[in-house]
Amino acid sequence: MSIRDDPNSNDNTDTKNLRLKRRSFLLSSNSGSDSLPIDLILVYDSEKNKENDEVEDSNGKQARRTKTPSESRKKFEEYLCKKQGLILEHVETHEKKFGFVKVHTPFDILLLTAENMRMKLPIEKIEENEDANEASRPEATHSAWNRCVQWLKNSFYLDASLKKNDPDYYTAIYSSNIDKFKDLFDTLRGSRDAYFTSTERSLLTHELLSRAHCDYDEDDEDEKQPVRAITLPITNTTAQSRTNSRRSGIDRLVAKKAYDCYFPLHEPLQADLTNIDDSELNEREKLKKHWATMRQFFKFQPLSLIRSYMGEKVAFYFALCGFYNKMLIPPALIGFIIFIYGISSVFSDQPTSDICGRLGQETFMCPRCDKTCPFWKLSDSCFQSKVSYVFDNAATVIFAVLMSLWARWFIEFWKRRQAVLRYDWDSMGFEEHLEPIRPEFEIKAKKKGEERVNAVTGIKEPYVSTRTRLPFFLVAASVVLFMMAIVCTTVFATIVYRSRMDFILKNTSAKSYSPIIITVTSAIMNLICSVILSQFYYWIARKLTDLELHKYQSKYDDSLTIKIYLFQFVNFYSSLFYIAFFKGRFFAYPSKYNTSSSGSFTEQCDPAGCLVELSIQFIIIMIGKQIINNLIEFFYAMRRTLTRMCFKRSEPEAQQQWEKDNELYDFTSNTLTDEYLELVIQFGFVTLFVAAFPLAPLFALFNNIIEIRLDAWKFLSKYKRPIPFKAFDIGIWSDIISSISYFAVLTNGIVIAWTSEFIPKMAYRSIESTGGSLNGYLNWTLSSFNISDYNLTGTMPQEVPDNLTICRYRDFREPNGPHYSQTSMYWNVLAARLAFIIVFEHAVFFIIYLMDWLVPDVPQTIQNKINHERYIDQYERWASKTTEKNFKHAAIASEAIFKMANPLSGKRKDPINEDENSSKHSRNLKT
């Protein structure tokens, strides 16, 4: 389609005939274009109303004629053909319900667009250092140890067929003035048509469509202009957006219902890939066979192939999942070892033995509420104390410290991994070009009739003032706070439920296990409420974000992400925060609880501590949420298939690939947002409250192994192929994960100091114990209450055991009434808790900042390659023939200017000869 580089092109070509021939070919539907690569598919409804609409203006005086969807499509497609040089082909389904437009982009158009986008393209092959490879090979390759290591590596590494066959190249920002790029046009992948990958072609084509005018009207004078260098008249896309940016973009036509959607075409997918050789499979089939299946769960992901098929934005998500799983392996193993240690050493724990032994049988605990609640024996909490020790021991404290450091290590090493991927995927130094205006914003802003000059582009754009948007921001903030209050109300409802259930189960045969039963059932109720509210809040968050009138899609996505994450943070973590930091902190002492029938109550912790309840709540919410989410994702993806099976509908036969893809789910910006949100919420579970459940990293690892393969299956089989957008990193999620890692240091420190028994046991060993043992620790943590003091407040329980004069409760208070004030030991333990939090945070943050200073974000090997690419880019730009030619022209022009300015001076002196003469004269003087 281009004669720019054709040496046989004739300048006397009849440009008018050439233009007419080109137009008739571009708009044709002949089979000759089947061999062209399909870069994008546009879908429209063939049954749209074709009648014109009459719309009144703002004063209602005059009606104006608006374009129908078919007219808008026609103008838009004419612009694509006549101004952008694209090749369009129209096809329809057999039922003629949908129309499809196949978009083909010629090679010259792709090059020009890549230059305008400042895309990096290969410029020089990376030569492998054979000497270094030989030196890195071990001499004893046949030893048993090396064979074992090699077998382990091969078990996890991918097959060689999944690796890209393209050799590694240094890349640079493409420029048509650099001749070295042209050397690879025909040699990179065998032919010029295969120079760009399918994802690069789709991305460049989408860039053209997003900048094309949707209200284009052909100028008659343009028909008379001759076709010079290029037969396809190409207009600079940046200039187009400056002249009339408000009318540009395929997204605006989708918003106007002229098109239903657009998407890159999936590669064909065969049903059974088991017995087919990998060399005969396309990229989609290779991914389906070796990646999107649970049979390959132990294999590393083919990130280069994922990036090649779905683009960097999707590939970064799966890279984060794979790196997260790899980083979870050490804490998962350590947590499992700590869990086994807790189970094996539970019978040697002295406080647990005291609760389950003779002391527990002889000790009566005070009622949990006044009047109606009975006295109970300390031994009734024997089971809870054993469970509590499994999760609350010295090893768990060490594990919490390590996980606080691990959270920051994960961020630091992910930065390095991200830098490697940026370089490998040519995203290093990638800067997003000017983002187009959201069509939804443009439509709403146009109704308000406000415009303002953009400070960056210098052109008038639709504008909505801050004063107009401020009420919507306030409404959004109020609704978010209100929804968070609803979540807190559900937590309060579970507190009421626990109090009532404790009153119901106190006289049953299950009273010994009533705390466990109450904790499990309340956690399940909390989980159900959280899942229901999360689905409801998704809809509310999108509506609120629509009201905020964000101008750009990136701002819209960030605002929606923050809203959803804040709500989910409160939704899933609020009950854990209540148990960890507030439960059992506000009660006074017996006879001050008030009656259970009055509606005022105070929850208390078990004598073994509140950590056992926190652990049970954590296990049910984390594991239950993951199971429910995976089931929802699976059945949502299979919804259409299950519907077809239930109603016994057969799939249409002989469907084209674009017809099959049109029936798949749309891959929107929210698709990845949901996946990232699920991953980040899990990261919070693993890091914020890991002291309550050491097995959290292990369960997270098991879930993610399934999650990766489930997402891979969904994206390949149930969703349209995404637009392969470039990405520099994982976006705002990087900041959210980093914030969680810092917050995890605080929460783990508070859980260790405030919720666990670590600080009281340390205080007892330091102050009261002889030899560092915990003998007498249980009795030390229990205070005494005179039963006769119940008569002072009229709250005497209905049943009092014979000869019982005192009961015990968990606190540090004076044994004599009537006020039972705190002892000095209470304040000592409190001071020790606060001191531990301060020391813990400062020590951990010091290690974190030291590690951040010592470990660079970019590995040195990658930095060396980046520097080498910059050198090549700079050298080739200066050594280019075009640069040399331009300097020659500049030198001739400079000589002419000098002669015009000095007509009597004659020829300009040669500076080189002048320097030689001066040096000879200086030597003569010395002689």
- Per DSSP, the residues of 463-496 read ---HHHHHHHHHHHHHHHHHHHHHHHHHHHHHHH
User: How far apart are alpha carbons 700 and 328 in whole angstroms?
Assistant: 8
pLDDT at 65: 56
- What share of the chain in percent tops pLDDT 90? 16
Higher local confidence (pLDDT), 780 or 450: 780
Select the highest-mean-pLDDT range: 54-58, 183-187, 474-478, 919-923.
Answer: 474-478
Residues belonging to the chain: 927
pLDDT in tens, 826-842: 899 999 999 999 999 99
- Highest average pLDDT, of 18-27, 432-441, 675-684, comes from 675-684
Res 227: pLDDT: 30
Q: Which three-class secondary structure state does DSSP give residue 745? A: helix
Distance of CA 248 to the CA centre of its chain: 29
* Mean pLDDT, rounded, for 510-518: 74
pLDDT band at 254 (very low <50, low <70, confident <90, very high): confident
Q: Residue range 240-257: average pLDDT?
A: 64
Q: For residue range 329-386, what is the model confidence (pLDDT) as tens digits?
A: 999 999 999 999 999 998 888 888 988 888 888 888 888 777 777 788 888 888 888 8
- Identity of residue 391: F
Q: How far apart are CA 916 and CA 907, in angstroms?
A: 18
Q: What are the tokens at 130? A: 């054979």
Q: Is the pLDDT of residue 432 over 70?
A: no
Q: Say yes or no to pLDDT of 192 above 90.
A: no
pLDDT of residue 644: 66
Mean pLDDT value across residues 440-448: 73
Q: Per-residue confidence at 248, pLDDT binned at 50, 70, 90?
A: low
Please give the C-alpha separations between residue 195 and each of 6, 199, 434, 663, 903, in angstroms, as whole numbers: 18, 12, 26, 31, 54
Over residues 630-648, mean pLDDT: 75
pLDDT tens digit sequence for 586-601? 667 777 765 443 344 4
CA 660 to centroid of chain Cα atoms: 28
Integer CA distances (angstroms), 538 to 491, 532, 533, 542, in order: 20, 10, 9, 6
- Look at 154 and 257; give whichever has higher pLDDT: 257
pLDDT band per the 50, 70, 90 thresholds, residue 438: confident
| Residue type (1 letter), 464 | V
Q: Which residue has the higher pLDDT, 424 or 278?
A: 424
Q: Which residue has the tokens 């240690």?
A: 341
Residue 685's pLDDT band (boundaries 50, 70, 90)? very high
In Å, how far are 61, 447, 453, 467 from 57, measured between CA atoms? 7, 11, 24, 26
Count of C-beta atoms within a 10 Å radius of residue 905: 10
What pLDDT shows up at residue 59? 47
Kindly tell me the sign of the dihedral angle through the C-alpha atoms of 408, 414, 416, 422: negative
Q: Note whether 490 and 526 are within 8 A (CB).
A: yes
Report the candidate in 422, 122, 311 with the shortest Cα–Cα distance to residue 726: 311
Local confidence band at 163 (pLDDT 50, 70, 90 cut-offs): low
Each residue's pLDDT tens digit, 217-241: 544 334 333 333 333 333 333 333 3
| Cα separation, 743 vs 848, whole angstroms | 13
Please give the residue that has the higher pLDDT: either 650 or 643: 643
Nearest Cα residue to 68 out of 48, 43, 90, 92: 48
Query: Crossing angle of helices 553-581/466-505, nearest 10°?
Result: 30
CA of 738: how far to CAs of 118, 660, 681, 735, 747, in Å?
Answer: 31, 41, 13, 5, 15
C-alpha–C-alpha distance, residues 602 and 499, integer Å: 8
Mean pLDDT of the chain: 78
Q: What is the DSSP string of 16-43?
A: HHHHHHHHHHHT---GGGGGS---EEEE
Query: Tell me: the pLDDT tens digits for 770-821?
Result: 777 888 898 898 989 888 888 777 777 777 888 888 888 888 888 887 778 8
- How far, in Å, CA of 252 to CA of 213, rounded? 10
- Work out the pLDDT band at 134, boundaries 50, 70, 90: very low
Q: Where residue 202 falls among pLDDT bands split at 50, 70, 90?
A: very high
Q: Quick one: pLDDT at residue 274?
A: 79
The 3-class secondary structure across 787-854, one letter per residue, is HHHHHHHCCCCCCCCCCCCEEEEECCECCCCCCCCECHHHHHHHHHHHHHHHHHHHHHHHHHHHHHHH
3 state SS of 872:
helix
Check residue 652 and give its pLDDT. Answer: 57
**Residues 853-889: b if buried by 16+ CB within 10 A, e if exposed:** eeeeebeeebeebbeebeebbeebbeebeeeeeeeee
Tokens of 567: 């709500």
First to last CA, the chain: 73
Give the per-residue pLDDT at 507. Answer: 66
Alpha-carbon span 492 to 786, nearest angstrom: 32
Distances (CA, A) of 467 to 314, 452, 472, 542: 37, 15, 10, 22
Res 61 pLDDT > 70: no
Q: What angle do CA 134, 136, 137 make, to 5 degrees?
A: 70
- Name the DSSP letter for residue 189: S
Q: Which of 551 and 665 is assigned the larger pLDDT? A: 665
Interval 81-92: pLDDT, tens: 888 889 999 887
Give me the pLDDT at residue 647, please: 63
pLDDT score for 22: 33
In whole angstroms, what is the distance from residue 207 CA to residue 249 CA?
A: 9
- Domain-wise residue ranges, the chain: 40-58+65-126+168-217+245-264, 285-592+603-643+661-761+832-854, 870-898
pLDDT at 320: 95
Dihedral (Cα; 912, 918, 924, 925), 10-degree rounding: -160
Percent of the chain clearing pLDDT 70 (strictly above): 78
Give the residues across from 65 on adjacent strands.
Answer: 54
Residue 909's pLDDT band (boundaries 50, 70, 90)? low
More confident residue, 693 or 160: 693
As a whole number of angstroms, the distance between CA 302 and CA 143 comes to: 30
pTM: 0.81
pLDDT at residue number 706: 92
Q: Which of 54-68, 101-115, 214-228 comes out lowest in average pLDDT? A: 214-228
Average pLDDT of the residues in 61-75:
70
Binning pLDDT at 50, 70 and 90, where does residue 306 land? Answer: very high
C-alpha to C-alpha distance for 228 and 15, rounded to whole angstroms: 8
Average pLDDT for residues 727-731, to the nearest whole number? 87
Q: Mean pLDDT lowest for which of 494-508, 622-636, 848-862?
A: 494-508
